[in-house]
Chains A and B, each alone.
Chain A
């Protein structure tokens, strides 16, 4: 079983829709969590970190459920420019010196159409 799993999609939604992605992780000792956005053939860029209490950045809301070991990303009022692949990432380890092992999900593809 892969350590970090995502539904690859694609999620095909109209502009203005609300869409949510989940990402499950298997290591209960995982310490930090992230959502990255990756445009086609480009490098991943950090979209937002995911904190225990949940956090919001404009139209984007991220949540962490440690009991069920998943993180989620909610996008409200989708824009055409939101079309991309969304990668979740989980850091595990790091007893000292920041030696965390990052594990990425395979990504969820989002297509927002007019």
Chain B
């Protein structure tokens, strides 16, 4: 089954304790990204990756790191989590092939979400 998986699904942690949220997709997608979703603010992009070893900042990258060593995996790292990073996090992936116009319509698939609470 084609899917994006995230782990853990739920996490409660304390300020300053490094954590990693994993993301994996089995669709051979080049593009992967991380979003956070907060009430009243909607989905905001944290980081994205166009392909292996290529990552770029999104709208809200502060306090986060990512890596893309393999095509299927795109972990999100919080080196020193703080309470303002309490949020619902989604990983997503899509193809980029198809040329500039067509590829802009490639469907983005989301993982099931990770609910993070930082105390």
- Chain B hits for A96, CB < 8 A: 100
Residues of B within 8 A of A (CB-CB), count: 32
Given contacts A42-B113, A43-B90, is CB(A95)–CB(B43) below 8 Å? no
- Chain A hits for B115, CB < 8 A: 41
Chain B's nearest CB lies how many Å from the CB of A60? 16
Q: How far is the CA of A108 from the CA of B62 in the complex (A)?
A: 28
Chain A's nearest CB lies how many Å from the CB of B55? 12
- Chain A hits for B42, CB < 8 A: 87, 104-107
Within 8 A of B (CB), among A93-110: 94-102, 104-107
Please tell me which one of the listed residues B41, B100, B107 contacts residue A46 in the complex, with CB atoms under 8 A apart. Answer: B107
Q: How far is the CA of A42 from the CA of B58 in the complex (A)?
A: 22
Q: Is B20 an interface residue (CB 8 A)?
A: no
Q: How far is the CA of A46 from the CA of B107 in the complex (A)?
A: 7
- Chain B hits for A45, CB < 8 A: 110
Q: How far is the CA of A100 from the CA of B104 in the complex (A)?
A: 7
Chain B's nearest CB lies how many Å from the CB of A71? 13
Please tell me which one of the listed residues B41, B50, B103, B112 contacts residue A43 in the complex, with CB atoms under 8 A apart. Answer: B112
Among B105, B107, B113: residue with most chain A CB under 10 A? B105
Chain B's nearest CB lies how many Å from the CB of A50? 9
Residues in B lying within 8 Å of A, measured CB to CB: 30-31, 33, 35, 40-45, 50, 58, 88, 90, 94-98, 100-101, 103-108, 110-113, 115
